[in-house]
């Protein structure tokens, strides 16, 4: 999975086709919660904790296949790949411009180039 928390993503399908920040990644369900996307109202009953009650607006998860990571260097939504750097660390990279996005795993001797 190439999407992490605090990444900027572009929603490519559905009614909210906007850019937003990833708030939570649900790995078991292959879903993400994006800030300001797929908002629903949760009706709250009056209680001691919430004496007025009412409606609470919150984001619901969307499928991971409906978002693309926005590259920080080319500022375009693009597919991502994984590759090993010369020191053996695994990193994400943009498939459009080829620039590195971030490290996924720390350096390991077996993947280092000599």
- Does residue 57 sit in the same domain as residue 10? yes
Task: Specify the CATH number for the domain of residue 36.
Answer: 2.30.30.30
Domain count, the chain: 2
- Phi/psi region, residue 49 (left: phi>0; alpha: psi -120 to 50; beta: rest), is alpha
Q: Determine the structural domain holding residue 17 and report its residue range.
A: 1-70
**pTM of the full structure:** 0.82
Give the separation between CA 70 and CA 110, rounded to whole angstroms.
31
Per-position pLDDT tens, the chain of length 114: 689 999 999 999 988 899 999 999 999 999 999 999 999 999 999 999 889 989 989 999 999 999 999 998 999 999 999 999 888 899 999 999 999 998 888 888 888 876
**Cα angle, residue 85 at apex, residues 82 and 89 outer, rounded to 5°:** 80
Both ends of the chain: CA-CA distance in Å? 28
20 phi, psi to nearest 5 deg: -160, 170
pLDDT of residue 114: 64
- Does residue 84 sit in the same domain as residue 65? no
């Amino acid at each position: 999975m190439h999407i992490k928390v605090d990444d900027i993503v572009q929603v490519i399908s559905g009614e909210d086709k906007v850019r937003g920040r990833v708030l939570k990644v649900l790995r078991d369900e292959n879903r993400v919660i994006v800030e300001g996307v797929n908002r629903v109202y949760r009706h709250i009953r009056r209680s001691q904790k919430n004496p007025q009650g009412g409606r609470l607006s919150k984001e619901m998860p969307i499928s991971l296949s409906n978002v693309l990571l926005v590259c920080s260097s080319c500022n375009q939504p693009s597919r991502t790949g994984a590759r090993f750097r010369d020191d053996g660390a695994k990193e994400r990279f943009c498939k459009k411009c080829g620039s590195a996005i971030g490290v996924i795993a720390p350096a390991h001797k077996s993947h280092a180039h000599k």
